[in-house]
């Protein structure tokens, strides 16, 4: 009986591994992307829609940089990840789970993560990191497995911009109260690294389209993997390394710590300025596992998501998730939820 069960599990795993390859051969990878043009009109059904209950906060649990390698998922690291996520789910009770990149660092790690998160029956929404696709069949393979997961709301997004540029509208009583923009900051294979001009145009098109559809400006946030240059500038201004604390006006509005250098994707990028122009108030990234600072900088909160699990490299005491709470007026508050690893 155990032999039959083992064979069935292996066949199921083989099917999961091969199905993206078949999809690519039969349908072509481009068929999963949108043919988006900036001239086209925004429609109300363009974004993923998730409903918020009236008089109840919409709670999001963000996980980041899980990236289990090869057979780690079936060993002690996999069990530590499962324990971390289980405790976070019990403590936070989220309406949505988000992931800010480097979701897996192997085929087995990806399949383990998808099985783990899908089992909770809660919608989940990942973005790609620079290691998604590493030690896997391909980045398309990863995107396809996310796209096909039962409770994952991942979309491929517009063609030519990477994998997984999509929007999520949180609604209450039929009205959009918050838009979450999910972005691919690239860094894999032969793709251009960081946020491209096409992505900037698409980002603006979505948020202006949402505002027009709602008849008013809508609160918004953006989730991505590699930090902006402003993450580095903000930390240099806010943190006094001699006093080992945030200083000045930052002392009352900032939290978390940075225990490694800020690894920016480009020396300059117009994305932060565009966010200011469009009224985006919260930016959440991953990438640097030993950083979890959250700094209110020039009207925009720049948050490093708290590292989740033992994957890649990690620091003792810096494990858990980041809780993003959306209130009825659409505003978002941010905090970290620590758990012992």
- Whether the predicted pLDDT of 108 surpasses 60: yes
Pairwise CA distance, residues 233 & 43, whole Å: 37
Give the three-class secondary structure for 15: helix
Buried/exposed 52-63: b ≥16 CB within 10 Å, e otherwise: beeeeebebbbb
Write the pLDDT tens digit of every residue in 27-77.
Answer: 888 999 999 999 999 998 999 999 999 999 999 999 999 999 877 888 899
With bands split at pLDDT 50, 70 and 90, how would you rate the model's confidence at 261? Answer: very high
- Orientation angle between helical segments 107-118 and 139-148, nearest 10 degrees: 20
Q: What confidence tier does 7 reach under pLDDT thresholds 50, 70, 90?
A: very low
Q: What angle is formed at CA 140 by the lines to CA 77 and CA 226, rounded to 5 degrees?
A: 65
**Cα-based distances in Å from 251 to 88, 173, 302:** 28, 37, 15
Structure confidence at residue 10 as a pLDDT band (50, 70, 90)? very low
With 50 as the cut, is the pLDDT of residue 199 above it? yes
User: Would you say 165 and 154 are in contact if contact means Cβ atoms under 8 Å apart?
Assistant: no
Write the CB contacts of 31 (distance below 8 Å, at least 6 apart in sequence). none
Angle separating helix axes 271-278 and 197-214, nearest 10 degrees: 10
Residue 117 sits in a domain of what CATH number?
3.60.21.10
State the DSSP code for 129. -
Assess contact for 77 and 310: CB atoms under 8 A: yes
Checking if the pLDDT of 180 tops 50, the result is: yes
Specify the number of domains making up the chain: 1
- pLDDT over 90 at 134, yes or no: no
Structural domain including 75 reads 2-338
Considering only residues 324 and 6, tell me which one the structure prediction assigns the higher pLDDT. 324
Lowest mean pLDDT among 63-67, 68-72, 185-189, 194-198: 185-189
C-beta neighbour count of 189 within 10 angstroms: 10
Backbone φ and ψ for 91, nearest 5 degrees, come out as -80, -40
Tens digit of pLDDT for each residue in 265-278? Answer: 888 899 999 999 99
């Amino acid at each position: 009986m155990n032999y039959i069960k083992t064979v069935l599990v292996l066949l199921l795993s083989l099917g999961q591994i091969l199905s993206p390859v078949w999809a690519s051969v039969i349908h072509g990878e481009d068929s999963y992307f949108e043919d988006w043009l900036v001239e086209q009109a925004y429609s109300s059904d363009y974004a993923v829609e998730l409903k918020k209950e009236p008089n109840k906060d919409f709670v999001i649990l963000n996980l980041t940089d899980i990236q289990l390698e090869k057979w780690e998922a079936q060993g002690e690291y996999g069990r530590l990840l499962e324990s971390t996520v289980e405790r976070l789910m019990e403590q936070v009770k989220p309406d949505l789970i988000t992931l800010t990149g480097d979701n897996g660092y192997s085929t087995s790690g990806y399949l383990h993560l998808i099985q783990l998160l899908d089992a909770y029956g809660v919608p989940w929404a990942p973005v790609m990191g620079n290691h998604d696709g590493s030690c896997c069949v391909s980045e398309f393979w990863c995107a396809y497995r996310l796209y096909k997961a039962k409770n994952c709301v991942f979309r491929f997004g517009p063609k030519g911009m990477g994998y997984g540029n999509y929007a999520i509208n949180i609604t209450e009583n039929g009205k959009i109260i918050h838009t979450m923009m999910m972005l691919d900051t690239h860094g894999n294979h032969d793709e251009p690294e960081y946020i491209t001009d096409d992505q900037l145009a698409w980002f603006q098109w979505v948020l202006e389209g949402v505002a027009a559809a709602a008849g008013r400006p809508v609160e918004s946030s953006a989730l991505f993997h590699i930090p902006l240059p402003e993450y580095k500038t903000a930390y240099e201004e806010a943190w006094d390394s001699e006093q080992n604390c945030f200083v000045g006006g930052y002392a009352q509005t900032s939290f978390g710590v940075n225990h490694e250098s800020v690894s920016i994707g480009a020396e300059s990028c117009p994305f932060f300025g565009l966010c200011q122009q469009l009224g985006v108030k919260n930016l959440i990234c991953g990438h640097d596992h030993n950083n979890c600072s959250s700094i209110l900088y020039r009207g925009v909160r720049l948050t490093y998501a708290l590292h989740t699990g033992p994957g890649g490299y990690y620091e003792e005491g810096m494990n858990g998730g980041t809780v993003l709470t959306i209130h009825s007026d659409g505003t978002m508050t941010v905090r970290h939820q620590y758990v012992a690893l």
